[in-house]
Amino acid sequence: MSETFKKAVAQGLDKIALACAGTAALGMIAIVGIIVTSVLMRKFANTPLHITEEVVGLLLSVSLFLGLPMVTLKAKHVRVSIVANLLKGKWHLAIQIAALLVGIGFFAWLILETIPWFEFAFKRNLKTETARILLYPWMALMPLSLTLTCAIFVARLTGAIDRTDDEEFDSGLSKPDGELN
């Protein structure tokens, strides 16, 4: 694979994941804003926002899935590394490749499961119960986010993005004075 292509893939995935993460952050800010507004309206006007629960639930779900690609790209997710810490050299690489293959398989399976779920909501024009908000635009973000996350795993497997290196499997200390990462 040429270095130019690898760089383009890495930059493209990084920019898309960053856009998703930024959107997720805006969603979290919107959640706080809606809840604060609802609480203030309940306190001072005795009339809370009737859409709070539905919109906050949708925003939370969307924010979690939109944050997933960046977490995966930066490898900042929870990882069980007890076996990987014990292995060195070829065995360490083999366990990394196996982990990437499991990740690709898992996300491919999730994508295949979410597409009919999305199509069901789209064909029936499903809406939330109280606010009557269309569900399929929100639901469309899940397969898109999962596809981007799977693409990150594939790029890492093919070498377009660096695989997790051995430095990440050290003792967890980043500074000589013993401060944690």
pLDDT at 137: 93
pLDDT at 1: 63
CA pair distance 67, 48, nearest whole angstrom: 29
pLDDT at 38: 94
| Burial per residue of 63-91, b for 16 or more beta-carbon CB atoms within 10 angstroms, e otherwise | bebbbbbbbbbeeeeeeeeeebeebeeee
pLDDT at 166: 40
pLDDT at 35: 95
- Per-residue pLDDT tens digits of the chain, which is 181 residues long: 688 988 999 999 999 999 999 999 999 999 999 999 999 999 999 988 888 999 999 999 999 999 999 999 988 777 667 776 777 778 888 888 898 999 999 999 999 999 999 999 999 999 998 889 999 999 999 999 999 999 999 999 998 888 765 444 443 434 444 444 4
Task: Please report where in the chains the tokens 């996300």 appear, as a residue.
Answer: 107
Does some domain include residue 92?
Answer: yes
Does some domain include residue 181?
Answer: no
Does some domain include residue 175?
Answer: no
CA 88 to mean position of chain CA atoms: 29
- Three-class SS string for 122-172? HHHCCECCCCCCECHHHHHHHHHHHHHHHHHHHHHHHCCCCCCCHHHHCCC
Does some domain include residue 170?
Answer: no
- Token code pair at residue 155: 């790029």
pLDDT at 130: 85
pLDDT at 107: 96
Q: What is the DSSP letter of 46?
A: S
Does some domain include residue 120?
Answer: yes
Does some domain include residue 13?
Answer: yes
Q: Count how many domains the chain has.
A: 1
pLDDT at 92: 80
pLDDT at 101: 95
- Token code pair at residue 81: 């590394």
In the chain, the amino acid numbered 130 is T
pLDDT at 127: 93
CA pair distance 69, 161, nearest whole angstrom: 13
pLDDT at 95: 84
The answer to whether 96 and 156 are in contact (CB under 8 A) is no
Domain of 52?
3-165
| 2 sits in which H/E element | none
Q: What is the DSSP letter of 177?
A: T
The answer to whether 114 and 142 are in contact (CB under 8 A) is yes
Does some domain include residue 180?
Answer: no
Does some domain include residue 176?
Answer: no
pLDDT at 164: 62
Task: Please report where in the chains the tokens 């309940």 appear, as a residue.
Answer: 42
